[in-house]
A and B are shown apart, each in its own frame.
Chain A
Amino acid sequence: MFKYLKQLTSLVAMVAVLFTFTTETMAAKKSKTLKNTQKKGFVRCGVSQGLPGFSNADAAGNWTGIDVDVCRAVAAAVLGDANKVKFTPLSAKERFTALTSGEIDILSRNTTWTLSRDADIGLTFVGVNFYDGQGFMVRKSSGITSTSQFKDGISACTNIGTTTELNMRDFFNSKGIKYEPVAFEKADEVVAAYDAGRCDTYTTDKSGLAAQRTKMSNPDEHIVLPETVSKEPLGPVVRQGDSVWEDIVRWSLNTMIEAEEYGITSANADMMKTSDNPAIKRLVGAEGELGAAFGLDNDWSLRIIKQVGNYGESYKRNIADTGILPDRGPNELWTKGGILYVPPAR
């Protein structure tokens, strides 16, 4: 009997613990991501496990990259300090589960916006912070200069759990080429295997190829082929069902892009308060009550621009100056021949 009594006590304790846990989850009602974030004092942001230019940690654990800047912008808007972000590095496989299960509140991890992801699995894409496309990298010595030179039996290294795997199949099927897909869980392992000669080509988003090339034992031995085989609009993602939070993230990103359009930088933001242009005055909080719609003060956008900078500054700092992709290509403003075009903040 004593034996059972012991088991019983532990069971009761277990059930009790579980129910305390429920009351807590039940208390967390709809649209309280913002409330929770303000209570915690930091933004919980999911990033990659290391992709230079997008989200990459240095030896001291400081995260940089244009994906990181989106989270920093949200922290500046919501908490007043761009540094109040807790970054969680995630693999491609883990990222959506981490977001839907509530482990993170923003997923800013070079994630491609597709219909099935947006509609199917409880996610909402808020915008595009980088227009990308899938490409192929090969060894220079192979003499391959175009994907039209690919032949039956080619082996291609890539990551699992990405749109890359699907695009790769579409591409090789449309060309009628038999190929050997070698799919790894982590990007570092893909690079190591390709670098060792396991695969003839390495395929992922072109920005990723440019960034990973810097990690190869000898970057000059590899080239990225000119062809782009897919559309990859990358952008931040939030959980479905919290439209206020969704709007905050969307407009934090839009603010950065629009600030560049109007020439507002981290250096001149304060001076812009006295500008004659009402659109500029609205962006730096000198006119209108835009923040109130999200339950924020009126300086939210000014803080983003002052602490994180506009999109152009972020791109230059993270992607151009690091030598990853000096040419902005489609990621230039619509006024300068690119396709970056955001709705007006008014």
Chain B
Amino acid sequence: MNLKLKDIVPQLITVTAVVLVFGFFTYNAQINMENRGIDFGYGFLSQESSFDVQFSLIEYDGSHSYFRAYLVGLLNTILVSVIGIIIATILGVIVGVARLSPNYLINKFAAFYVEFFRNIPLLLQIFFWYFAALRALPLPQDAEAIFGVFFLTIKGLYVPAFIWQNFSVFFYSIVAAIIAIIVIRTHAKRVQENQGKQIPVFLISIGLIFILPLLTFFIGGVGISFEVPVLKQLATTSFIYEGGVSLPPELIALTLSLSLYTATFIAECVRAGIQGVGKGQKEAAASIGLTPNQVLKLVIMPQALRIIIPPTTNQYLNLTKNSSLAAAIAYPDLVLVFAGTALMQTGKAIEIVSITMFTYLTLSISISLLMNWYNKKIAIQEK
């Protein structure tokens, strides 16, 4: 009984204190807002926003609601985070492995990259890529075509748009290829467990995923054509490209700086993971006759991943949160569109800031959950 009371009392006090603190802040805010004649409410979300946004993944203009503007900002934040995470991971793994390379030049170059980019504040890097690198880019009319169809200009990167015929056939062929690969993999695993024979699953998979969709071009009636951007004159010295897809320079600068910065941290995680696997593991694996590739794939990586994943999760979270620096260079992310323009136009500071905070919290927790699930999957499964 005594022991129970000792356990419960501190918990109770903590809960009461937390409730009191929150209650106090809510009460204080209410009183002050009332005194200053500020209404509280989320009704504004359905009102017409009446401002436009430069770049959005869903259809949006000022005649839509503030809620729609919120979605535009959220999707733009997710877009830059996803692209950033993918590039940072690929680059991070390459640099991390390069830092362990016995080749002096590769090794030192990777070390230099890591030390250089992780020790300069991110905001400065964003400014550098946006303002310094942007200024060096040509005006649309002076831009040289890259491979005849890409145009990198001060107003953005213009790429050709794909125009598909019978896209559904192409799409289903990819689905069919993926199903076939899954079937073959399960079969190959069974064969190996029963007969010890190995089937080159990787080669077969690669072949399937390329050849099957390619076949649809010849027998499925799938066709593809490109819409190449064309220069259009707006005024004597003012030009723009029309047609194709345009990526705003803000998106490019932000993705570039976020990935280059975060990749340095991921590289260190990868290096730590690989170095954390005991040397004996590698030697033991080699001694039972595994090839160097198999040693890496079957022995080193599964163990290294366990060390790599948790700190890398942190880096993914950092990248997502750092994407809010977008506001400095006019990339219309959640902070700029919703906690910026929308907040200003409505004056609903408490409502909008709380929604924005809650959104970032949800994003971060989703990434955490996903990574924790993956971490659990690769953890040692004790039997």
What is A's interface to B at a CB cutoff of 8 Å?
Answer: 1, 4, 7-8, 11-12, 14-15, 18-19, 22, 25, 30, 92-93, 96-97, 100, 117, 120-122, 138-139, 141-144, 149-151, 153-155, 157, 160-162, 165-166, 168-169, 173, 179-186, 189, 192-193, 196-198, 200, 239-241
What chain B residues lie within 8 Å of A180 (beta carbons)?
A: 54
What chain B residues lie within 8 Å of A151 (beta carbons)?
A: 234-235
B343 touches A241 (CB 8 A): no
A120 touches B347 (CB 8 A): yes
What chain A residues lie within 8 Å of B330 (beta carbons)?
A: 157, 182-185, 189, 193
List the 3 shortest-distance A-B pairs measured between CB atoms, nearest first: A121-B347, A161-B344, A143-B236
Contact of B134 among A153, A181, A198 (CB under 8 A): A198
What chain A residues lie within 8 Å of B250 (beta carbons)?
A: 182
- B40-88 CB contacts (< 8 Å) to partner A: 50-54, 61-62
In the complex, whether B327 has a CB less than 8 A from a CB of chain A is yes
In the docked arrangement, what's the CA distance between A240 and B155, Å?
A: 44
Closest Cβ of chain B: how far from A89's Cβ, in Å? 17
- B317-348 CB contacts (< 8 Å) to partner A: 327-330, 332, 336, 340-341, 343-347
Q: Give the residue name and chain of the A residue nearest to B340 (CB).
A: A160
Contact of A154 among B234, B332, B345, B349 (CB under 8 A): B234
Interface of A is mostly: mixed
- Interface stretch of the complex, out of B28-36, B184-192, B203-211, B257-265: B28-36
B131 touches A192 (CB 8 A): yes
A166 touches B235 (CB 8 A): no
A7 touches B14 (CB 8 A): yes
What is B's interface to A at a CB cutoff of 8 Å?
Answer: 6, 10, 13-14, 17, 20-21, 24, 28, 32-33, 35-39, 50-54, 61-62, 131, 134-135, 139, 154-155, 232, 234-238, 240, 242, 248-250, 327-330, 332, 336, 340-341, 343-347, 349
A160 touches B17 (CB 8 A): no
Closest Cβ of chain B: how far from A14's Cβ, in Å? 7
In the docked arrangement, what's the CA distance between A7 and B250, Å?
A: 46
Q: Give the residue name and chain of the A residue nearest to B9 (CB).
A: A4
Contact of A25 among B28, B38, B232, B248 (CB under 8 A): B28
B10 touches A4 (CB 8 A): yes
In the docked arrangement, what's the CA distance between A23 and B378, Å?
A: 55
In the docked arrangement, what's the CA distance between A239 and B36, Å?
A: 7
A15 touches B237 (CB 8 A): no
What chain B residues lie within 8 Å of A14 (beta carbons)?
A: 21
What chain B residues lie within 8 Å of A143 (beta carbons)?
A: 235-237
A144 touches B38 (CB 8 A): no
B154 touches A169 (CB 8 A): no
What chain A residues lie within 8 Å of B61 (beta carbons)?
A: 169
Q: Give the residue name and chain of the A residue nearest to B44 (CB).
A: A120
B237 touches A93 (CB 8 A): no
What chain A residues lie within 8 Å of B349 (beta carbons)?
A: 96-97, 100
What chain B residues lie within 8 Å of A1 (beta carbons)?
A: 6, 10
Closest Cβ of chain A: how far from B50's Cβ, in Å? 5
B21 touches A183 (CB 8 A): no
Q: Give the residue name and chain of the B residue nearest to A185 (CB).
A: B327
Contact of A198 among B237, B249, B336 (CB under 8 A): B249
Contact of B341 among A121, A144, A154, A165 (CB under 8 A): A165
What chain B residues lie within 8 Å of A138 (beta carbons)?
A: 235, 238
Contact of A7 among B10, B24, B38, B332 (CB under 8 A): B10
